[in-house]
Amino acid sequence: MAMKIRLVSIPVDDQAKALAFYSDVIGFEKKHDIPIGEDRWLTLTAPAGGDEIELVLEPNRNPAAKTFQAALFEQGIPITAFESDDIEGDYERLLSKGVAFTQKVQEQGPVKLAVFADTCGNLVQIYQQT
């Protein structure tokens, strides 16, 4: 028996806003959108990565999660990272869509990386292996 990574959650302060950002701006595709009370089971996949791994846009109602999310943001620590095949191209594409970067593309050891705010309370890193 082997375990697999299938779901990766990130806390978001507004699921509708997060869906718009991650689909319209980033380019991910909605996979599941199931109402669950006031919230939704909302997942996306990356077209370049297949549909086996899903990003869950988790409503951030838990006070402990809110504290954790805010602390990471204040310290400039990304909550997750996405791999890019063309980081300069993705950086320019996202900039042209109004994405606010807190760190421009720079080389750090065996990778190039940049960090942006997702409009939902998180910093996200994009990176490219060099």
Burial grade of 25 (CB within 10 A; 0-12, 13-18, 19 or more): middle
Return the pLDDT at 8.
95
Distances (CA, A) of 65 to 13, 33, 123: 11, 22, 15
Model pTM score: 0.94
Span 16-56, pLDDT tens digits: 999 999 999 999 999 999 999 999 999 999 998 878 899 99
The angle formed by the CA atoms of residues 102, 122 and 16, to the nearest 5 degrees, is: 125
Segment 11-20 mean pLDDT:
97
Assigned CATH for 7-129: 3.10.180.10
